[in-house]
Structure 1
Amino acid sequence: MSSDFGGPALFIGEDTTFLLLVRPELDPADPGVRAAAEQAGISPEEFAGPGNLWTLVLDDDFESDGGFELPGVRDSEVDDFAERLQSALGAGGPFTVEAGAVLRLDARPQGEGYVFTVHATPPEPEGAPTLSLTTRTIPRATLLAELEQFRRDLA
């Protein structure tokens, strides 16, 4: 899933409860970006930024539980996380996959899919509380297809 963000995006969940790991890339020539930059009083290039900063967003019933940037995270680290998640899904059974101190996914099988409990701790400010949410059952095939596309987008 990358079309809406211009860069790679991993979406786990459904419309109202989800985890989104994304590296958005804004096009300074896009009319929406230009309008937002003008409103902010900066150049479109400055508004678009470098396009290499990963962001983690959690949303539970459209309450936007939290979103934060992950400075210093490299594509290779995100790909490693996605690869471990893909492997665990392939093995079946309950599992936990972590991405450092920032993200932990606890997964348990439910029918033909998985239910995830997501725990995310913002890197800043130090001591920020961990945010958690639990998804509904997500079909295993959907998850595997999403991970495959995400890893292709990263390549």
Structure 2
Amino acid sequence: MSAAVGGPGLLIGTHSAYVALERPRLDPADPGIRRAAEEAGVTPEEFVGPGDLWVVAYERDGAGDGFELPGVRDSEPAGFAERLRAGLTAAPGPFTVDGGAVLRLDARPAGVDAYAFTAHITPPDDPETIVTVETGPVPVTSLLADLDAFLGSLA
């Protein structure tokens, strides 16, 4: 499932329990963007910039939250996605994908051709807090298709 933020996005989990990596697409024609650019003394296109702002979003128990990760290069979420893909295509069994200081994903088989995930999320502004999100089973084939689409959107 791809996250719907206009830019590249990867949602891991189900609609009610997930973690998502998203790069919002900022629209230079948006009135708020135009106003902010004017205040900053730059064009809206310059203000929007290359898109190095990523977001980690999550939902659990009906409540969602998230945080921004400014300055993240596309290669970092792409590397995470590639490591997740490698784990899913290796011999069946539990595996962990390290996403750096803010995200670790533990995967375990959950039935035939599916995995369930435990996401350990550490907001950068509160490194003492670790949010844990447990997902239900996610079919491997659909997650692999989402990973391919996500990686393709970053190419």
Please say which of residues 20-29 and 3-12 is displaced more in the overlay. Answer: 3-12
Equivalent in the alignment of 1:59? 59
| 3-state secondary structure, aligned to 2:80 | helix
Pairing of 1:69-108 with structure 2 (within 5 A): 69-91=68-90, 92-108=92-108
Alignment pair present for 1:142 and 2:142: yes
Unmatched 5+ residue regions in structure 1?
none
Spell out, residue by residue over 1:98-119, the C-alpha distance to the aligned partner (whole angstroms, 9 max, x if none). Answer: 1112110000001120000000
> Which runs of 4 or more aligned residues in structure 1 lie more than 2 Å from their structure 2 counterparts after TM superposition?
1-4, 41-46, 48-52
Q: Distance in 2 between matches of 1:128 and 1:154?
A: 32
CA contact (8 A) 2:24 2:54 kept: yes
> For residues 87 and 17 of structure 1, do their structure 2 counterparts lie closer, same or farther at Cα, with a shift above 3 Å needed?
same
C-alpha change, 1:117 and 1:74, in structure 2 (3 Å) is: same
Question: Deviation at 1:70?
Answer: 1.3
Structure 2 stretches lacking a partner, 5+ long: 39-43
Q: Give me the CA root mean square deviation.
A: 2.3
Percent identical residues: 48
Q: How many residues align?
A: 145
Once residues 73 and 52 of structure 1 are traced to their aligned partners in structure 2, the CA distance between those partners, rounded to angstroms, is 5
Q: CA deviation at 1:4?
A: 3.1
Q: Which amino acid aligns with 2:81?
A: A
1:123 aligned partner: 124
Specify whether residues 3 and 134 from structure 1 end up closer, same or farther in structure 2 by C-alpha distance, changes over 3 A only.
closer
Matched, 1:11 2:17: no
TM-score using structure 2 length: 0.83
Q: Using the alignment, how far apart are the partners of 1:57 and 1:84 within structure 2?
A: 19
**Residues 16, 28 of structure 1: alpha-carbon distance in 2 compared, 3 angstrom cutoff:** same
